[in-house]
Amino acid sequence: MAHLQFIEDAQGDVVDYVVFCSDYCSRFHAAGEYKGWNGCHEISVSEPCAECGDPVAGLDEWGEM
């Protein structure tokens, strides 16, 4: 499960997100901009954590259910 930081445009719409392996990495990466816990998200494809580089498993690793 991924922790996400949402990137918003000037109108407050989510236009992108950054993937993290844990709340710790999310807090560390955000520094003073941390907006609270935002974990337990499923992501479509596996990606490395934006902070530490550890793999964050996506649905592509689980196969068809």
Per-residue pLDDT of the chain (65 residues; tens, 9 = 90+): 899 999 999 999 999 999 999 999 999 998 888 889 999 999 999 999 999 999 999 998 766 54
In the structure encoding, which two tokens stand for residue 53, read together?
Answer: 């580089």
Q: Is 7 exposed, middle or buried (0-12, 13-18, 19+ CB in 10 A)?
A: exposed
Of 12, 53, 63, 57, give the one whose Cα is nearest residue 35: 12
Range of the domain at 7: 3-61
Counting the structural domains of the chain, the total is 1
What confidence score (pLDDT) does residue 6 get?
Answer: 93
Please say whether the beta carbons of 13 and 40 come within 8 A: no
Q: Note the pLDDT of residue 60.
A: 86
Neighbours of 47 (CB within 10 A): 16
